Structure 1
Amino acid sequence: MNFAFLTAGAEGTAGMASMFIMLGVMVVVMYLFLYRPQKKQQKKEAEMRNSLEIGDEVTTIGGIIGRVIAIKEDTFVMETGSDRTKIRFRRAAIQAVEKLNLDPAATPEKK
């Protein structure tokens, strides 16, 4: 008798199982290397934007640098340049925030 059809079915099942295992491993790797670091970065950026205070120096995503003079819920007003031009931006436009240092003991002395 020919039992080739029984062994072919077992090999097909093992092949399907290994394929699902590899697919699962790929999903876990994508989560660890793509999704999780992106969520960490987004959380860090949201924290930076929510900790915005009056007097902080801000750089926008467009490259405009200025000092924060007013803050509302999702917008802020920034003063730029020596002519003190005031521009209103959304908080989402913030790329970097440099906190205002009011502690004179922490500032480095120039010699």
Structure 2
Amino acid sequence: MSFFVSSAMAQAQTGAAPQGNPMVTLLMFGGLFVFMYLFIIRPQRKRQKEHTALVSGLAKGDEVIMTSGMLGKVVKVDENYIVLETGNNIELKFQKVAVHAVLPKGTIKSIDAAKE
């Protein structure tokens, strides 16, 4: 004696699982792929291309900020590495891919002047 489900209804559905429309499932997977492409894959590729262009365009004398937050002036550019002058004749070697952004000329001097 079930108060919520009649015995006849429960017995009718025990033999087979309900079948859905396979087209709806395909549309859902297609929509998910389009969503992921538009909101995840495409913007990431765009940022990657911009960073590659930034890194390949580095030249001696550019003022850069590294991913670690360190500021410096490019002294030497190699195939995979750059040498930065970070202070009083202190030169440090970094991988090119660690460059976050190229700053406008004179940024480091303006920061040093603001400290004083």
Q: Which bin holds the TM-score, normalised by the shorter protein?
A: 0.7 to 0.9
1:40-87 CA distance string (max 9 Å, x none) = 001001100110010000111111101001011000100012x12000
Give how far 1:99 is off. 4.9
The residue type paired with residue 92 of structure 1 is V
2:59 corresponding residue in structure 1? 53
Q: Alpha-carbon deviation of 1:29?
A: 1.1
- Could you tell me the percent identity over the aligned residues? 34
Q: Distance in 2 between matches of 1:59 and 1:98?
A: 7
1:86 matched to 2:84: no
Matched, 1:39 2:45: yes
Report the residue type matching 1:96 in the other structure. Answer: A
Judged with a 3 Å threshold, the aligned counterparts in structure 2 of structure 1 residues 53 and 69 are, in CA distance, closer, same or farther, namely same
Larger Rg belongs to: 2
Q: Name the aligned partner's letter for residue 78 of structure 1.
A: L
Letter of the aligned partner of 2:32 in structure 1? M
Aligned to 2:74: 68
Aligned equivalents of 2:62, 2:55: Cα separation in 1: 11
Structure 1 stretches lacking a partner, 5+ long: 1-7, 102-111
Runs of 4+ in 1 over 4 A off after TM superposition: none
Amino acid aligned to 2:95: R
Q: CA deviation at 1:17?
A: 1.3
Question: Unaligned regions of 5+ residues in structure 2, if any?
Answer: 1-15, 107-116
Label 1:69 to 1:62 Cα distance change in 2 as closer, same or farther (>3 A). same
The alignment's TM-score, normalised by the length of structure 2, stands at: 0.71
Partner in structure 1 of residue 25 of structure 2 = 19
How many residue pairs get aligned? The number is 90
